[in-house]
Amino acid sequence: MENPKHGGHKLDRELWRLALPMILSNLSTPLLGMVDTAMVGHLSHPYYLGAVALGGTIFSFLYWGFGFLRMGTTGLTAQAYGKNDPLQINATLARALLLAFTLAALLLALQRPVGELALQLLEASPQVQLHTQTYYSIRILSAPATLANYVCIGWFIGLQNTRIPLFLLTLVNLLNVIFDYVFVWVLHWQVAGVALASVAAEYLGLVLGLILAARHWRRFRRPCRRTILDLRHLGRLFAINVNLMLRTLLLLFAFAFFTAQSAQLGDVVLAANSILLNLQSFMAYTLDGFAHAAEAMVGNALGRRDISRLRRTIHRAGLWSAAFAVSFSLIYALVGHWIVRLLTGLEPVRAIAVEFLPFAVILPLISFWSFVLDGVFIGMTRAREMRDVLIVSVLLYLPLWWWLHRLDNQGLWLAFTGFMTIRTLGMEIQRRRILRRLVGLDKG
């Protein structure tokens, strides 16, 4: 029998081998958001910052809303890898890329009505609306590259190779920062420059990602067209991705609702809240490194029918995520006001951000377990349960905000904190139910 202590150390090493590259690459994404914020936060008017915040919210729906392409690809690839099924490993990549380019083409065809609807829903001042429209019209052009990049990254994570996603994500974000500086500060393109920087970086990343995927494709058995278009596998891919899409859209709706209500409270509040959300995103992207590792390890364990290893993986990923969450809360409590000063030179924005900084301090402690369980559920391809948790969370979030909205920004933050709490509790309830069922099947 394996020594529990030795087994824990072995799992920790494997977890860190997968998680560390993803932590490093994930950190570059919120850092990019902070760079975007800093680039426009030091321009002459707060409406530039508000426009980038609203534009980012729109593309949280349009691009992050298609994040199911990465999640679904990871779960299916990890399970095929655990079953030692090289044919389905490559077929999963081909099916997911086909779906990604189809969805991107649809998104480009509908870009005008989608953009008009988004701008109507996210009400803001006329200046913010004008610059947000500019941002949207440019950033939408990166749709094919962004969605295909999701698939490539998900495929590599499923193969328990997180070094390539580290390389790709870091490169894309580094190029984005460089283009940000050139377009915003050298060429003075303001909000348009921020959007164009993202487009250029995404396409360069796609070219490299496809080259690396083609090299790994040759290691496995090449599927024929009939295998790729197999209706049973396509049906499973479709069912998983539809539920993941609904789950992701509901989650992003919660964040977009928060941003939209911030805009209703004025440009200064909108800018301050976007800074605090950047702090939450920085923490979330870090903890997502453990979630990504859990996706690969849990999917692999499930493919091998090793339920004991699956449970131990969840436990170790949760312990490390908890340690990081506590660290982030302490950092934000001690030096959060200095971070705010770095992100904007506008004193009214600074004052509001510092006033509501305590919410950024407590959110890591409330939300970290839901991030871990996201990875666990993705590895098990339990998308329906993830969807159900978000439905309940949003249905309770909206009346909670209505009850508290007379408190203005404080009520908004209290409602958002309540939403994150409900989500964490819901995920934990589902985790216990799923594991009881898996243990029962394993014994049977």
> What pLDDT is attached to residue 121?
72
* Domain around 210: 4-443
Domain count, the chain: 1
Indicate the pTM of the whole model: 0.78
HEC string for the chain: CCCHHHHHHHHHHHHHHHHHHHHHHHHHHHHHHHHHHHHHHCCCCHHHHHHHHHHHHHHHHHCHHHCHHHHHHHHHHHHHHHCCCHHHHHHHHHHHHHHHHHHHHHHHHCHHHHHHHHHHHCCCCHHHHHHHHHHHHHHHHHHHHHHHHHHHHHHHHHCCCCHHHHHHHHHHHHHHHHHHHHHHHHCCCHHHHHHHHHHHHHHHHHHHHHHHHHHHHCCCCCCCHHHHCCHHHHHHHHHHHHHHHHHHHHHHHHHHHHHHHHHHCCHHHHHHHHHHHHHHHHHHHHHHHHHHHHHHHHHHHHHCCCHHHHHHHHHHHHHHHHHHHHHHHHHHHHHHHHHHHHHCCCHHHHHHHHHCHHHHHHHHHHHHHHHHHHHHHHHCCCHHHHHHHHHHHHHHHHHHHHHHHHHCHHHHHHHHHHHHHHHHHHHHHHHHHHHHHHHHHHHC
pLDDT along the chain (444 residues), means of 10: 56 87 70 63 60 73 79 89 84 90 92 82 71 84 92 91 87 85 80 85 92 79 73 82 87 87 88 88 85 89 87 92 95 92 84 93 94 92 93 95 92 96 96 85 52
Looking at residue 2, what is its pLDDT? Answer: 46
